[in-house]
Amino acid sequence: MNKKIALVTNVLDYVGPPAVKALLKGGYDVIAQDPAFQDTNKEKEYKIIFPGTVPLGIKDPRELIQYVWDNNKKVDVLTLISPVVDWKFIDLKIVENPQKCLKLGE
């Protein structure tokens, strides 16, 4: 089975919740990153509220991308909700179709 993978950062902020809902509705497995998930109770609660997500509290962007790569080998949709972190280092070769990243849920 060829799963569709989405990564949403800072998922508890701003457009994170509706983005996750739309992606889950579109059949994506969602890797939901937020520093709040370093609290295991918040991580477990989120997973109950949003089944089909993998909540992660990883703060370091490089560690997060490494986790995604090690566990999925691709990202179909990348939603970066972060005005502070510099994500320019991301090698978009891990994204199967970079143009698709611009169109949520296609």
- pLDDT confidence of residue 88: 53
Structural domain including 89 reads 4-102
Residue 86 has pLDDT above 70, yes or no: no
Per-residue pLDDT tens digits for 36-57: 999 999 999 999 999 989 999 9
pTM of structure: 0.74
Per-residue pLDDT tens digits for 3-24: 899 998 889 988 888 989 999 9
- 4-8 vs 28-33, strand pairing mode: parallel
How many domains is the chain partitioned into structurally?
A: 1
What CATH number corresponds to the domain at position 74? 3.40.50.720
